[in-house]
Structure 1
Amino acid sequence: MTDLNGQVALVTGANRGLGAEFVSQLLERGASKVYAAVRRPESIVSDDPRVVPLALDVTDADSIEAAAAAAGDVTVLVNNAGIGVNQSLVSGDLAEIHREFDTNFWGPVLVTRAFAPVLERNGGGAIVNMLSALSWLALGSYSATKAALWSATNSARVELAPKGIQVVGVHVGWVDTEMAANATGVKVPPAQVVTETFDVVEAGDVEAIVGETAQAVKAVLNQDVRVLYPQLARS
């Protein structure tokens, strides 16, 4: 378990939506410092002296290494930054698919590689990866990026546990943010996502399954694939 009180955290994609909520609730739970990591640190505006804007582009290896060097006191990492272009893997724009994988998969993987040694030197801590219910339900390139990150999260969880680093994966359906503005259906409030995520972190668990959509998908993963994809049902 990781008590967030007194921790030094870094949140990627921290300037809006879920990222801003992660920063806010870290402060509420007593974090001593929160690095708000974004491409344009000038976009971070806060009256709380514990918030430290930090330049970080998760698609740029040099930027990631510079951030890890600048934030050597981090004990909690939240891999939140992501995009959604969701192309067809068969016929979609390949450049956009690469961009989505660079941000949603390689970004968190490279940030984790850079910061895991930092957390270990600081005595351990926690890494949170924002996944999705679409980690388990394939609907295009976005789902593929999250499925890949789910697998990477499981691998990192096993590898880092002996080093005192807790790895938490967060699965949720649509979240009521700008990214899902055009989505239909039930949307989970960002505050709920972050609250349930940090409850899991502080309880020492490894997976947050937030909202009815994610819970429903998880519940049928052990069943025939046609349960998730009824369009494959035999006629």
Structure 2
Amino acid sequence: MNIAGSTALVTGASRGLGRHFAQQLAARGATVYAAARNPDAVDLPGVIPLALDVTDPDSVAAAAQTAQDVSLLINNAGSNTRSALTSGAMADIRLEMDTHFFGTLAVSRAFAPHLAAAGGGAILNVLSVLSWYTTPNSAYCAAKSAEWSLTNALRLELAEQKTLVSALHVGYMDTDMTASIDAPKSDPAEVAATALDGVEAGRVEILADDLSHTVQAGLAGGVTALYPQFA
């Protein structure tokens, strides 16, 4: 799709990768709804702040009623409680699923009719290399894996209305969410540019770093290729 002249909505746009998405979309000639739970935290010129909590059905419905001209939806809102499934608080585990799976589903369902009215448009879901690989603090990984399956389902179900559904896979990025992690990190500005280039090119899967390519290749080897301790 052509980003110039489109109308885009980015969830979680007040900081991190979402802020870069909103900024770069505006620079590419899109009208941008920068959605956040607190729209007052959106400080980018040239965008339209929009209140949206993806875990709140009423908030999702209100945003969809306001932004009926959307032709590009970027599901970027996220959380990371770093909870383990066997010992973490169930409230934290539910938050991960409510944000990444049910939140992405709710927003996609609400805006799918608007995308259809725009000729199909596009959805970009911000996933993770942890959609494919699980770490010990696994609630986030489980939610991202569910969101990957959701993305594939949306791609199939929205094909008839000609909506492109793209998935972005990326490892650690240099954002607030990963500030406490000591590991190589990608520049979120570069990740946003790679993702938007992929959407414009019509790509259904966008891998933004070497780690994502490596882990994706490991999927063909089965469980023991990803987790050699179980070989």
**Superposition RMSD on alpha carbons, in Å?**
0.9
In the alignment, which residue of structure 2 is the partner of 1:151? 149
Match of 2:96 among 95, 100, 106: 100
In the alignment, which residue of structure 1 is the partner of 2:8? 9
1:26-78: CA deviation from partner (whole Å, max 9, x where unpaired) = 012111x1001011111112332xx1111101000010001000000000000
Q: After superposition, where does 1:60-71 map in structure 2 within 5 Å?
A: 60-71=56-67
Match of 1:56 among 52, 56, 67: 52
1:67-102: CA deviation from partner (whole Å, max 9, x where unpaired) = 000000000000000000121112221111011111
Match of 1:161 among 154, 159, 162: 159
Aligned AA (1:225): V
Return the alpha-carbon distance in structure 2 between the equivalents of residues 215 and 62 of structure 1: 38
Match of 2:177 among 170, 179, 192: 179
The yes-or-no answer on 1:207 pairing with 2:205 is yes
Match of 1:115 among 111, 114, 128: 111
Return the alpha-carbon distance in structure 1 between the equivalents of residues 84 and 223 of structure 2: 20
In the alignment, which residue of structure 2 is the partner of 1:79? 75
1:112-171: CA deviation from partner (whole Å, max 9, x where unpaired) = 000011111122111000000000001211000000000000010111122111000000
Would you say the 8 A contact 1:174–1:186 is kept in 2?
A: yes
Aligned AA (2:18): G
Please list every run of 5 or more consecutive structure 1 residues that lacks an aligned counterpart in the other structure. none
Match of 2:42 among 41, 44, 49: 44
1:151-195: CA deviation from partner (whole Å, max 9, x where unpaired) = 000010111122111000000000110101111221011012111
In the alignment, which residue of structure 2 is the partner of 1:223? 221
The yes-or-no answer on 1:170 pairing with 2:168 is yes
Aligned to 2:158, the other structure's residue is in SS state helix
Would you say the 8 A contact 1:86–1:97 is kept in 2?
A: no
Return the offset for 1:7: 0.3
Would you say the 8 A contact 2:23–2:44 is kept in 1?
A: no
In the alignment, which residue of structure 1 is the partner of 2:19? 20
Q: How many residues align?
A: 229
Return the alpha-carbon distance in structure 2 between the equivalents of residues 159 and 71 of structure 1: 22
- Please identify, of 107-116 and 157-166, the stretch whose mean Cα deviation from structure 2 is larger: 157-166
The yes-or-no answer on 1:30 pairing with 2:26 is no
Return the alpha-carbon distance in structure 2 between the equivalents of residues 175 and 104 of structure 1: 17
In the alignment, which residue of structure 2 is the partner of 1:130? 126
Return the alpha-carbon distance in structure 2 between the equivalents of residues 177 and 86 of structure 1: 16
Aligned AA (2:25): L
TM-score under structure 1 length normalisation: 0.95
Aligned AA (2:203): D
In the alignment, which residue of structure 2 is the partner of 1:190? 188
Would you say the 8 A contact 2:57–2:106 is kept in 1?
A: yes
TM-score under structure 2 length normalisation: 0.97
Please list every run of 5 or more consecutive structure 2 residues that lacks an aligned counterpart in the other structure. none
Structure 1 residue runs of 4 or more that deviate by more than 6 Å after TM superposition: none
